[in-house]
Structure 1
Amino acid sequence: MAAPPRDLDADDLARVMGAFTRGSIRLPSAEKHTFTTLSVLHTLAGKGPMRVSALKVTEQITQPAITQLVSRLERDGLVERRPDVADGRAVLVRITEAGARIVRTRHQERVRRFTELVEALTPEERAAISAALPALDRMAALMDTERWSMTAAVPEGLS
């Protein structure tokens, strides 16, 4: 007889997700960039053009740090700044094709590596992970919504 399902332990979830996140971030990559650089590129690839002040909030770094990072990424041809057509006073940062290529390449590398890791699991473990994907996807969406509500809460003049 199978054991009854137990309630989800948030401490266990945080521990496992932390270990998984650290391992995922450290997967070998042909593209050598800092975590913050990759995070900015992934954010822009997924969300589209953003103001520097919004990137500051999503990336959880200081205004001087995000400004310096965006300037370096722009110099390296990975992002570009363009006027915000909705507000001529503002500038939006958008990912370039070179930046998008880094995101795509990294995704392809992760898929390849995860395929290898999944093959090492038992059929039961693969089924359990597959069954958990919708819930994990929902949690990620909730975290993203929470982060975006923080972005909207920051008055533009204060960021």
Structure 2
Amino acid sequence: MSQGLGADLLAVVARLNRLATQRARLPLPFAQARLLSTIEDQGEARISDLAALDHCSQPTMTNQVRRLEEAGLVSRTVDPSDGRAVLIRITPKGVETLRQARVQRGAAIDPYLERLTPEERATLATAVGILRRLLDEASAPVTTR
């Protein structure tokens, strides 16, 4: 019995992500790449915000951010709205490392995509565009009238 389109989509995406991660040679551990991607998406964020997004404790997130900072992938700056807090942002080295991770994960999936017919690849490309739009709409600020 089908769980619904949303549940099916999430299950397939999760399996695809696991496949890509298992088969790729990543320049950093997957959990760090995922956090780096979150930081890139946020632009800059407090550690407490990153912990909330990752559903972990603030001390756990502090340790994860420290590892990325030691590798030169993120930097800390003082939060202009609260001098006691810091904002985490991705560095140019972090952007490049994340790009490499994405290329490697994509390369792990490419052999399977090559097996698709041209029509199937076109359908998949259309679906990716639809998913991007869905994500853009979901992350857009909500406006009230």
| Coarse TM-score class (shorter-chain normalised) | 0.7 to 0.9
Q: What residue ranges of structure 1 are gaps of 5+ in the alignment?
A: 1-7, 150-159
Residue type matched to 2:115 in 1?
Answer: A
- SS of the residue corresponding to residue 26 of structure 1 reads helix
Identity of aligned residues (%): 33
- SS of the residue corresponding to residue 88 of structure 1 reads strand
State the partner residue of 1:32: 28
After superposition, the Cα gap between the structure-2 partners of 1:59 and 1:11, relative to the gap in structure 1 and judged at 3 Å, is: closer
Does the Cα contact within 8 Å between 2:77 and 2:86 map onto a contact in 1? Answer: yes
TM-score, normalised by the number of residues in structure 2: 0.78
Residues 1:48 and 2:43 aligned together? yes
Deviation per residue, 1:66-106 (Å, 9 max, x gap): 01111222222222211122332321112223222211111
State the partner residue of 1:101: 96
Hey, what's the Cα distance between the residues in 2 that align with 1:10 and 1:101?
Answer: 32
Q: Shift of the alpha carbon at 1:38?
A: 0.9
Number of residue pairs the alignment of both structures matches: 139
TM-score, normalised by the number of residues in structure 1: 0.72
Q: What residue ranges of structure 2 are gaps of 5+ in the alignment?
A: none
State the partner residue of 1:153: none
- 1:99-138 alignment to 2 at 5 Å? 99-138=94-133
Hey, what's the Cα distance between the residues in 2 that align with 1:100 and 1:27?
Answer: 22
Does the Cα contact within 8 Å between 1:45 and 1:103 map onto a contact in 2? Answer: no
Hey, what's the Cα distance between the residues in 1 that align with 2:15 and 2:27?
Answer: 22
